[in-house]
Structure 1
Amino acid sequence: MADLFSSQDPEPAREPAREGAAPRPLADRLRPARLEEVIGQAQVLGPEAPLGAMLASGTLSSLVFWGPPGVGKTTIARLLARETDLAFVQISAIFTGVPELRKVFEAAKMRRQNGQGTLLFVDEIHRFNKAQQDSFLPHMEDGTILLVGATTENPSFELNAALLSRASVLVLTRLGPEELEALAARAEEELGRPLPLTPAAREQLLAMADGDGRALLNLIEQVAGWSLSAPLAPEQLATRLTRRAAKFDKSGDEHYNLISALHKSVRGSDPEAALYWFSRMLEGGEDPRFLARRITRMSVEDIGLADPAAQQHCLSAWETYERLGSPEGELALANAVIYLALAPKSNAAYKAYNKARGLAKSSGSAPPPRHILNAPTKLMKEQGYGSGYAYDHEAEDAFSGQNYFPDGMERPALYAPVERGFERDLKKRMEYFSQLRAKRGT
């Protein structure tokens, strides 16, 4: 089973390559030997941070590392095993089934009997199904294993509640520009020479890594292998290296994170931010039809009747996209995004609708008042259907003010238009009819 899981102490970092052996990748040569050498993740590893506090108090518990690729999840797990004298066992949920898990647990029990604990690192732990996740629980509870899981997906959606209740979730973040620069400097020290790049090209190289430390080291290794007579400028670097595509999973957390960012930017009347997130999703491969649908939703939820034209503008943009296709039709959707961001905002209709739905559920099957029911038969007329109905067109101001709610129901206040956009006019109309209703005592 050596190809499925490994059980060994972490190898010393920066071990020199044996003569005749293939050179070790730069990322492997720069793997930290101590937690203090890890670049970034101070929010987890700092003295006052969760993991730092656990180590200081000697109360390390099972953990789930949640974060994007290349931020140190595996490295930190290895170093935890070293610092706590635990046997390090690594498996991947992609290649491991129930039979392999049983063998891992049995081996951990044997180590425990011999006086050594086991840190079991599970990469892509979210890929285990519920039954497989449940199989960890008894071994976590009796101390056979200290589980450290790694996932790029939101644990609250992908891991079951029982496992989450027994583990602390620690969020690891993308490396920032300063942290990437520190990693590049460490790579140059290992290589024994500076990278052959102008300052602008160096900045571009760091941006290409997109917060992924492992990706940066792979890029640096490529650059270091070039024979150059002069440092490369950004344009020359761009011809030699392909920029990494921005991380975007159309079915995962990033999908919902970015559409949330777009929606909130529109709601916050920031067209620049809205266009940025709209473009990020398109560049990541999002279906423009999904964006057209969500943009239209924004028009009815956040603009509403403050600008009734917003909804029609979105529908027209959607139709234009369907006629033109990509990429030409995407400009119509971008126009709609800008329009929505700059339109007057109101969620009064949205709130009124939600209140009305709640009232409809709570009022049960209360019938309409009989005076507004039609009476097509003699029996219905005898039952009072339609009796006393006032035809509004014949009333003064074309407003009878009669009751349209079920008998006995107190008149609710559902719609409260705001003092923005077209709803200013609607508010005046609401107040006008309310005054007439009070005047006529209805």
Structure 2
Amino acid sequence: MADLFDSAPEGGRAKAGPRPLADKLRPKTLGEVIGQPKVIGPDAPLTVMLASGTLTSLVFWGPPGVGKTTIARLLADETDLHFVQISAIFSGVADLKKVFEAAKHRHANGQGTLLFVDEIHRFNKAQQDGFLPFMEDGTILLVGATTENPSFELNAALLSRAQVLVLERLGLADLEKLAQRAEKELGRALPLDGHAREALLEMADGDGRALLGLIEQVNAWSLTGKLDREALAKRLMRRAAKYDKSGDEHYNLISALHKSVRGSDPDAALYWFARMLEGGEDPRFL
């Protein structure tokens, strides 16, 4: 029986599989990252750390598709650290032990390790405590990523050894830059009129990865003309807005609604009101 991971047929090289657009457009330097000026802009925390050579362990807090993994990879490149990525969803104690042992070996040979832990809040208290000695002795530089409030989900001991940086949803201007970058990679403009293009950006709901997925769908259609907003809406489903009726998004959105009402901004108030209703909020609460 052929091995699942057999390489090329005899006498030739295996053809690489198709790469998603998000992978093709992954930034090569921090300067290519779109958005997040509060984190990587001039005089922003990461910029200052890198300039001074004092990069510390970090926790990136933000929604999906805003660059948490990409920035972590680029930090490893900038600091000549070996990059290791794990997910708290799929990793257990045995996996962590292997990662720490390999990092200790590299450390003994003069090379540091940047350990990127996706969904770090999924690790329990004991697992989170397991990172502490390796952070303290310099075996690893930890970069955790979470979509949940670190103050509630991460141990105080871990938070005291890491700086929390908040990454924000991409704005429409950022998403437009990303769309233009995608068009350059694809070699053609998207078959959308101005209103449809704006609708496409809105469908991504601030998620760059989601936008590139939508662009791949649109690019695959055989069209002779440009679609308008209504025609696009028929072909694509709007991405479900991120909402959690009992978690951070609940409190973030109700806070935004309160501020809009207090600030006498009816348009904004109606937007947040509708966003919560669409997300499944109990109308009686609202």
* TM-score, L = length of structure 1: 0.60
After superposition, the Cα gap between the structure-2 partners of 1:44 and 1:268, relative to the gap in structure 1 and judged at 3 Å, is: closer
State the shift of 1:260 in Å.
2.2
Deviation at 1:269, TM superposition (A): 5.4
| CA deviation profile, 1:329-363 (whole Å, cap 9, x unmatched) | xxxxxxxxxxxxxxxxxxxxxxxxxxxxxxxxxxx
Q: Is the partner of 2:255 in helix, strand or coil? A: helix
> In the alignment, which of 142, 164, 167 is matched to residue 169 of structure 1?
164
In the other structure, the counterpart of 2:47 is 52
Q: What amino acid does structure 2 have at the position aligned with 1:284?
A: G
> Per the alignment, do residues 136 and 266 of structure 1 end up closer, same or farther by CA in structure 2, a change over 3 Å counting?
same
Picking from 102, 109, 117, the partner of 1:107 is: 102
1:228 equivalent in structure 2: 223
Q: In the TM superposition, what is the alpha-carbon distance from 1:264 to its structure 2 partner?
A: 4.0
CA distance in 2, matches of 1:237, 1:175: 22
Report the residue type matching 1:136 in the other structure: F
**Pick from 77, 89, 98: which aligns with 2:93?**
98
Where does 1:386-405 land on structure 2 (aligned, <5 Å)? none
Deviations 1:289-318 (A, max 9, x none): 433xxxxxxxxxxxxxxxxxxxxxxxxxxx
In structure 2, the residue corresponding to 1:149 is in which secondary structure?
strand
Give the equivalent residue in structure 2 for 1:117: 112
Q: Does the C-alpha gap of structure 1 residues 71 and 114 become closer, same or farther in structure 2, counting only changes over 3 Å? A: same
C-alpha distance in 1, partners of 2:268/2:195? 25
- Quote the Cα distance in structure 2 between the aligned partners of 1:43 and 1:267: 27
Q: Corresponding residue for 2:16?
A: 21
The aligned residue for residue 10 of structure 2 is: none
Instruction: Confirm whether residue 74 of structure 1 aligns to residue 69 of structure 2.
Output: yes
Q: What corresponds to 1:185 in structure 2?
A: 180
Shift of 1:180: 0.7
Letter in 2 for 1:198: D
- CA distance in 2 between counterparts of 1:75 and 1:264 reads 33
Q: Distance in 1 between matches of 2:261 and 2:78?
A: 48
Residue equivalent to 1:342: none
Q: 1:141 aligns with which of 113, 136, 139?
A: 136
Match of 2:281 among 279, 286, 293: 286
Q: What is the Cα deviation at residue 270 of structure 1?
A: 5.1
* Alignment match of 1:37 (pick from 20, 24, 32): 32
Aligned match of 2:193: 198
5 Å-filtered alignment, 1:255-270, equals: 255-268=250-263
Aligned-partner SS, 1:287: coil
Whole-angstrom distance in 1 between the partners of 2:49 and 2:144: 17
Question: Partner amino acid for 1:94?
Answer: I
Report the alpha carbon displacement of residue 19 of structure 1 after superposing the two structures with TM: 7.0
- The residue identity in structure 2 corresponding to 1:40 is G
Gaps of 5+ in 1: 1-17, 292-442
Cα distance in structure 2, aligned partners of 1:234 and 1:275? 22
Cα 1:271–1:216, aligned 2, differ >3 Å: closer, same or farther? closer
Query: Which structure ranks higher in relative contact order (CA pairs < 8 Å, sequence separation ≥ 6)?
Result: 2
How far residue 138 of structure 1 moved from its aligned partner, in angstroms, is: 0.7
Q: Secondary structure in 1 aligned to 2:285?
A: helix
RMSD of aligned alpha carbons: 1.5
How far 1:135 sits from its partner (Å)?
A: 0.8
> Once the 2 structures are TM-superposed, how far is the Cα of residue 268 of structure 1 from its aligned partner?
4.9
Q: Work out whether 1:254 is the aligned partner of 2:249.
A: yes
Distance in 1, matches of 2:264 and 2:225, equals 47
Structure 2: gaps (5+ residues): 1-12
1:238 maps to 233
For these two proteins, the number of residue pairs brought into alignment is 274
Question: CA separation in 1, counterparts of 2:84 and 2:61?
Answer: 19
Give 1:204 shift: 1.0
Q: CA deviation at 1:255?
A: 0.6
- Aligned residue in 2 for 1:218: 213
Distance in 1 separating the partners of 2:26 and 2:266: 43
User: Given the superposition, is the C-alpha separation of residues 177 and 275 from structure 1 closer, same or farther in structure 2, using an over 3 Å criterion?
Assistant: closer
* Separation (CA, whole Å) in 2 of partners of 1:273 and 1:177: 16
C-alpha spacing 1:230/1:267, structure 2 compared with 1 (3 Å): closer
State the distance in 2 between where 1:156 and 1:87 align: 28
Would the alpha carbon gap of residues 266 and 184 (structure 1) be closer, same or farther in structure 2, given more than 3 Å must change? closer
Q: Deviations over 1:366-419 (max 9, x none)?
A: xxxxxxxxxxxxxxxxxxxxxxxxxxxxxxxxxxxxxxxxxxxxxxxxxxxxxx
Q: 1:83 to 1:267 in 2, by over 3 A?
A: closer
Alpha-carbon separation, structure 1, partners of 2:41 and 2:155? 29
- The change in CA–CA distance for 1:281 and 1:143 in structure 2 (over 3 A counts) is same
Give how far 1:277 is off: 2.3
For 1:272 and 1:196, the matched residues in 2 are separated by 31
Report the Cα distance in structure 1 between the residues aligned to 2:65 and 2:174, rounded to whole angstroms: 13
Q: CA deviation at 1:246?
A: 1.2
Query: CA offset at residue 259 of structure 1?
Result: 1.9
SS of residue paired to 1:290: coil
SS of the counterpart of 2:226? coil
Q: Which amino acid is the alignment partner of residue 164 of structure 2? A: V
How many Å separate the matches in 2 of 1:264 and 1:32? 36
1-side partners of 2:188 and 2:267: how far apart? 41
* Greater shift in the superposed pair: 40-49 or 69-78: 40-49
